[in-house]
Structure 1
Amino acid sequence: MTGSDILDSRYSWLRLLVTLLIAMIGNVGMWAVIIIMPRVQAEFGIARADAALPYTLTMVGFALGNLVIGRVVDRFGITTAMICSALTIAFGYVLAGVSSSVVMLAAVQFVIGFGTAASFGPLIADISHWFYRRRGIAVGVAASGNYLSGAIWPILLSGILADHGWRTVYYVLAVLTVVLVVPLALMLKRRIPEAASLHAETMSRTNARSVSFSPRMLQWLLALAGVGCCVAMSMPQVHIVSLCADLGYGPTVGAEMLSLMLMGGVVSRLASGVIADRLGGVMTLLIGSTLQCIALFLYLPFDGLASLYVVSLVFGLSQGGIVPSYAIIVREYLPAKEAGARVGFVIMATIVGMAIGGWMSGWIYDLTGSYQAAFINGIAWNFLNIGIIGLILVRSRNRSGRVVPA
């Protein structure tokens, strides 16, 4: 099988399944550090802010890894990138398990976050090459691996954490990462046929001519939009547990709302993929960002227990498809041969937005003593995102936002 006939084929769907499995395993690095945070704080006798330092460094490494590993994928392929990343993650888990201070743990978490990034942006960019008519749903499925990892692994690891401690959790993850990810990565060795790559390049150039922005300008606009939407997105995702604690519902209820939000995000990513296959990435992103903004407004008047559960689910259903839409837009409008680097750059910007937004919301809370102003701040950044994506849509000669899949 050669050329474009391999796209959307049985092999493409099998590759997507393998991609999803890798994503569910490889992304655990960014969730495990949250699970162990209370144990780390108790063991080292440190403040909550200090205990959060490993998570912060994890996200910094995750952001940088999406950019750097994306370039590796463009040059050497996804299998080489995934195997190297799996070994890096496993080595990081082992070093974390012998950490003697929170500073050492935080430094190691940067390495874990860097390796974990291979299972997000670079993996999404890779699978996008193997689909033509169903690229949107394929990207949505691959991106869902991140949320599924966050929903499933805390449950699987809770028993080990309770009985043997957080260090044992990391040793177990080190073994599982190598034993599971490396064989799965070897199943992705096949490279996209040259004929299919040339076809994708032709389509992306055609789409690029429909917008009056250079590829560099479009990429930077998408990055700025990514910061805007994810500053807004971070407010509920990062602070819902603290919000519930402030309201007297307790952190357990907040964790349940976060889990509900993530599961809603999985549904949203799949639904957005279907929509993107019909309307294109730009229109899908605009819809998702608008719905997210509406959901943020709902947090302002409602603080009852039942209403917060409902609003958190609505928020998850609204925002889950936003980040994958950026990958779809990059593949539609920008050079296919640079997909790994360009998707990685835009995804990095969204992660930076999450990091900035998480800190900014806490800072605003410290200033005002309430999350109300923090939600309003998120809404303002969401409007920035809507404005940029609306501009891209208006400046498109097509006007409908629907493009020929590249």
Structure 2
Amino acid sequence: MSTDTETVSIQLNAWPEVASRSRVQVAQPELQPSTAHTDDENAIGIDYQQLHPVDGGIAAWRLLWPICIAGLIAGSFATNLGGLIVTQGVIYGIGFLIFYYPILSFVNEFWIERRGMAYGLLCSASGVSGVGMPFIITSLLNAYGYSTTLRAVAVALVILTGPLLPSLKPRLPTSNSTTVAATNWSFLSIPLFWIYSFSNILYGLAFFFPSLYLPSYATSLSLPPSSGALLLALLSIAQVLGQFTFGYLSDQSRLISTLLILSTFISALSSLLLWRLAHSLPPLIAFALLYGFFGAGYTAMWGRMCTNISQEPLSHMAMFSFFNVGKGVGNVAAGPMGAALIGLWGEEGVGRFEGVILFTGGYQIIFTNNGFLGYLVRCKLGQGELKGHAHHGKGQGISIRIVNLGVGVLMVLGGVAQFFPLGFQSIVVGCYVIIFGLATALLEFQIPPQVARYASFMFSFIGRGLFYLFIGSILLSTHWTKVVPGTLIGFIGLGYVALEFVPSIEPPANMRDADAGWGAEQV
């Protein structure tokens, strides 16, 4: 048997099952503790469906990857939108999936302890090509038109990618083992999986708007034509650095929810402040670098998100597929949504992008609160960032205090913002909100017995959640300094209310008792 036929055959797990299948062994060290046995003895058999008899023992993707090339070439002959959807959307998309998913399975085989870094490298590699591609594509389109450009890209992919295919091999060669291990679907009952999945839909809805509209925004500011390509190149450079950094950090620390919150919150602020207020090139450059670095880091953490949901390796690829589906649903909806938002608040100049910018920043804020909710769920399920420490219950209390202290700070900032412009009503509302914020923060250090006795409802999930929703609605106004804290507080309140109705998550048994200092247990 030749070397090629001894390589593992891997294809999309979604391909219909056929009667005759090959069997392979894939090493999954995380399933077995380190023992004196050999690697082969510890290998776990995993069945990957084959395109028998089409593949003849050769991995299916080695035969079908030219579908990508065919999509590009066919697209060069398209003369209407429907033709582009079929060629660039359907044909190219199917070819890409057939080619890409086996590579992901190889990453899972080779990388375990540093899997986050590996995913970061894999994701950031796409950004490397994005550094120069905007300039190349723009020049080709201007010089030769879209038909010749697509054909040139297809030829370039064959020349650059084809010679590398023989080096893409799994960790172990084909084995005669017939052991079959089915995908473990138990992750579907874990709340954290659905929180992450919903976040992926939001991510797909909002993340790609800057890369779509930054060139047009620069044109509306009467900047040089090359400014749009420059911004996209900088966005790609920042994406490369961000995806590797966040992937690497997800391996170094269990603070995955903290990284998710940081990624989305900085992205939201950069959209609402830098992009929305930019009227020259320097702020747009700063926005492209910040948004690219922090926003793109999210997908690089998918690998570690899967291991946080479940330690069962056989479910990781299935979870990754669900994450991609959620992101894809968001991408599909983003197109018509962006078209509807353009010009919603103005028809001239940069004003017509107001809706897109607010939508991007607003959804990133909602996205941030999904990170908060995921943080709380993990802590309440005993899967928090402090897992493994001697006093895990105390660690949960600290993590929840941090969230509430943050809400207190947001209340104070939102209350101060109410003073502008000055008015009797705004001063009264601002003072009340500042007092509520200070009280919220102080209660995280010590709960007076009278408060615990007469306001016990405030120390339940639903009570605290409704209180945050009320304060958030008060703060909402027309200016971003009021919208941002009001929205954040409101969605944190929604998170608390949701926790009240999740059967598998119980509040701390002693959360109404108060001790001096940080020893208290409260929501």
Please report the TM-score for the alignment, with normalisation by the length of structure 1: 0.68
Runs ≥4 residues deviating over 6 A: none
8 Å contact 1:296–1:375 — kept in the other structure?
yes
2:373 aligned with 1:386, yes or no?
no
**Count of matched residue pairs:** 322
Between 1:101-110 and 1:289-298, the stretch displaced more is 101-110
CA separation of 1:302 and 1:94: change in aligned 2, threshold 3 A:
closer
Q: In the TM superposition, what is the alpha-carbon distance from 1:325 to its structure 2 partner?
A: 1.3
Q: Which amino acid aligns with 1:295?
A: S
Q: Distance in 2 between matches of 1:267 and 1:364?
A: 30
Between 1:379-388 and 1:394-403, the stretch displaced more is 394-403
1:93-242 to 2 correspondences below 5 Å: 93-110=72-89, 111-118=91-98, 123-155=103-135, 165-178=145-158, 180-191=160-171, 214-215=188-189, 217-242=191-216
* Aligned match of 1:87: 66
Q: Which amino acid aligns with 1:222?
A: Y
1:21-60 to 2 correspondences below 5 Å: none
CA separation of 1:94 and 1:330: change in aligned 2, threshold 3 A:
same
2:219 aligned with 1:245, yes or no?
yes
Q: In the TM superposition, what is the alpha-carbon distance from 1:267 to its structure 2 partner?
A: 0.6
CA separation of 1:380 and 1:331: change in aligned 2, threshold 3 A:
same
Q: Distance in 2 between matches of 1:126 and 1:282?
A: 26
Q: In the TM superposition, what is the alpha-carbon distance from 1:273 to its structure 2 partner?
A: 1.5
Q: In the TM superposition, what is the alpha-carbon distance from 1:156 to its structure 2 partner?
A: 5.1
* Aligned match of 2:293: 317
Q: In the TM superposition, what is the alpha-carbon distance from 1:173 to its structure 2 partner?
A: 3.7
Q: Which amino acid aligns with 1:400?
A: E
Q: Deviations over 1:28-53 (max 9, x none)?
A: xxxxxxxxxxxxxxxxxxxxxxxxxx
Q: Distance in 2 between matches of 1:238 and 1:167?
A: 21
Percent same amino acid among aligned pairs? Answer: 19
Equivalent position SS for 1:129: helix
Q: Distance in 2 between matches of 1:267 and 1:141?
A: 9
Between 1:249-258 and 1:285-294, the stretch displaced more is 249-258
8 Å contact 1:285–1:326 — kept in the other structure?
no
8 Å contact 1:122–1:340 — kept in the other structure?
no
Q: Distance in 1 between matches of 2:13 and 2:387?
A: 26
Q: Which amino acid aligns with 1:127?
A: V
Equivalent position SS for 2:343: helix
2:264 aligned with 1:285, yes or no?
no
Q: Which of 235, 240, 251 does residue 261 from structure 1 map onto? A: 235
8 Å contact 1:265–1:317 — kept in the other structure?
yes
Q: Distance in 1 between matches of 2:138 and 2:271?
A: 31
Q: Which amino acid aligns with 2:364?
A: N
Q: Deviations over 1:122-166 (max 9, x none)?
A: 534531332122211111000112222322344556666566554
Between 1:235-244 and 1:277-286, the stretch displaced more is 277-286
Equivalent position SS for 2:277: coil
Q: Distance in 2 between matches of 1:157 and 1:71?
A: 34
Q: Which amino acid aligns with 1:367?
A: L
Equivalent position SS for 2:48: helix
Q: Deviations over 1:42-77 (max 9, x none)?
A: xxxxxxxxxxxxxxxxxxxxxxxxxx9464598259
Please report the TM-score for the alignment, with normalisation by the length of structure 2: 0.54
Equivalent position SS for 1:295: helix
Q: In the TM superposition, what is the alpha-carbon distance from 1:379 to its structure 2 partner?
A: 2.3
Q: Is the radius of gyration larger for structure 1 or structure 2? A: 2
Q: Name the structure, 1 or 2, with higher relative contact order (CA <8 Å, separation 6+).
A: 1
8 Å contact 1:137–1:274 — kept in the other structure?
yes
Q: Distance in 1 between matches of 2:387 and 2:213?
A: 36
Q: Distance in 1 between matches of 2:107 and 2:236?
A: 22
Q: Which of 365, 390, 393 does residue 342 from structure 2 map onto? A: 365
Q: Distance in 2 between matches of 1:261 and 1:297?
A: 17
Q: Which amino acid aligns with 2:270?
A: A
Q: Distance in 1 between matches of 2:239 and 2:214?
A: 15
Q: In the TM superposition, what is the alpha-carbon distance from 1:275 to its structure 2 partner?
A: 0.9
Between 1:379-388 and 1:95-104, the stretch displaced more is 95-104
Q: Which amino acid aligns with 1:94?
A: I
Residue segments in structure 1 that go unaligned for 5+ positions in a row: 1-67, 195-200
Q: Distance in 2 between matches of 1:254 and 1:74?
A: 47
8 Å contact 1:93–1:171 — kept in the other structure?
yes
CA separation of 1:146 and 1:344: change in aligned 2, threshold 3 A:
farther
2:265 aligned with 1:328, yes or no?
no
CA separation of 1:312 and 1:177: change in aligned 2, threshold 3 A:
closer
Q: Distance in 2 between matches of 1:183 and 1:373?
A: 45
Q: Which amino acid aligns with 1:394?
A: L
8 Å contact 1:261–1:316 — kept in the other structure?
yes
Q: Which amino acid aligns with 1:378?
A: T
Q: Distance in 2 between matches of 1:276 and 1:267?
A: 14
* Aligned match of 2:283: 307
Q: Distance in 2 between matches of 1:402 and 1:283?
A: 14
CA separation of 1:292 and 1:157: change in aligned 2, threshold 3 A:
closer
